[in-house]
């Protein structure tokens, strides 16, 4: 029995999230169907981070066990031949059976890409978030600073979240921009359900003046989701990095793949 790790990217618009569902319109179901063709048997996968409906990934990592011999290239080009254009396996490698895509990961990194313009983009429809009124990026940078570190994130936790604890530690929480584009970057060992989209929604309220930057700290202290701004659209959210210990030597392991980076160029930082 061999354990195989894969690196994936996908456009989340066509799927109802990562996790398998009876209707089988998920990333996991679609990937496992393609893997089954190459393996000639049913394959079950485990991912580093479960993405929600409409959320994308530029650097998802999964693993699976298989008792048939296949070349690494078969798990890339062969599987891709049976996947829709909205999912691609970028790399494959054998790993020790102690590797676990979820539990071996040190951290996950997400980026939210927001198009801040009076008129929405047709070319990036469903690929980026959009807000029509001007946003104060300096105010949002001041607001996001309150999110760094260890906090009880109940104010930014979905009601249906099943995590045992609302406490998380954000090792990075930042806002950058380039022209009409605004980037929200977050890194932590784990996130709560809808946590990032809820934080982005609150930061947009800071940017448009409906909240002050220090209100982010107040929301954290109140720990009441009902007092926080609405959840923002999933369209601009990307899982764009999963960091593992160097011992695993995964292709791209821990490397951040910035979504839309070649088209948008580097982010301007303070």
| pLDDT tens per residue across span 103-144 | 999 999 999 999 999 999 999 999 999 999 999 999 999 999
CB atoms within 10 A of CB 218: 13
pLDDT surpassing 60 at residue 255: no
Q: Residue 270 — pLDDT band, cuts 50, 70, 90? A: very low
251 found inside a domain: no
Catalytic residues, which ones? 52
Express each pLDDT in 12-42 by its tens digit. Answer: 999 999 998 888 899 999 999 999 999 999 9
Are 21 and 29 in contact by the 8 Å Cβ rule? The answer is yes
203 found inside a domain: yes
Are 203 and 140 in contact by the 8 Å Cβ rule? The answer is yes
CA angle 137, 224, 156 (to 5 degrees): 45
Separation of alpha carbons 169 and 99, rounded Å: 23
The partner residues of 8 in beta bridges, in order of sequence, read 60, 89
Domain-terminating residue out of 57, 83, 104: 104
What is the structure's pLDDT at 84? Answer: 97
189 found inside a domain: yes
CATH of the domain at 81: 3.30.70.580
266 found inside a domain: no
264 found inside a domain: no
What is the structure's pLDDT at 261? Answer: 63
Say whether both 73 and 156 belong to one domain: no
Q: Residue 162 — pLDDT band, cuts 50, 70, 90? A: confident
Say whether both 198 and 213 belong to one domain: yes
- Range(s) of the domain holding residue 50: 2-104
Task: Report CA 101 to chain centroid distance, whole Å.
Answer: 15
248 found inside a domain: no
Express each pLDDT in 180-237 by its tens digit. Answer: 999 999 999 999 999 999 999 999 999 999 999 999 999 999 999 999 999 999 999 9
Say whether both 115 and 89 belong to one domain: no
The sign of the dihedral angle between the CA atoms of 230, 233, 234, 240 is: negative
Say whether both 118 and 28 belong to one domain: no
């Amino acid at each position: 029995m061999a354990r195989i790790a894969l690196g994936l990217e996908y456009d989340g618009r066509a799927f109802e999230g990562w996790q398998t569902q009876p209707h089988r319109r998920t990333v996991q179901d679609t990937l496992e169907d393609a893997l089954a063709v190459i393996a000639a048997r049913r394959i079950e996968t485990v991912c580093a981070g479960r993405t929600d409906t409409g959320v994308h990934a530029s650097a998802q990592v999964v693993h699976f066990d298989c008792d048939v011999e296949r070349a690494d290239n078969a798990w890339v080009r062969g599987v891709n031949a049976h996947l829709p254009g909205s999912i691609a396996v970028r790399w494959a490698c054998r790993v020790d059976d102690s590797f676990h895509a979820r539990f071996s990961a040190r951290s996950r990194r997400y980026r939210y890409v927001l198009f801040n313009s009076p008129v929405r983009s047709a070319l990036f429809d469903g690929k980026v978030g959009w807000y029509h009124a001007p946003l104060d990026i300096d105010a949002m940078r001041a607001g996001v600073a309150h999110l760094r570190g260890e906090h009880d994130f109940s104010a930014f936790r979905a009601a249906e979240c099943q995590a045992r604890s609302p406490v998380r530690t954000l090792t990075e929480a930042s806002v950058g921009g380039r022209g009409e584009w605004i980037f929200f970057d977050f890194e932590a060992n784990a996130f709560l359900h809808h946590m990032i989209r809820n934080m982005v929604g609150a930061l947009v309220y800071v940017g448009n003046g409906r909240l002050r930057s220090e209100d982010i700290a107040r929301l954290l202290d109140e720990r009441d989701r009902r007092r926080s701004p609405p959840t923002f659209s999933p369209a601009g959210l990307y899982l764009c990095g999963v960091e593992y210990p160097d011992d695993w030597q995964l292709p791209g392991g821990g490397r951040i793949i910035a979504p839309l980076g070649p088209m948008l160029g580097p982010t301007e930082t303070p």
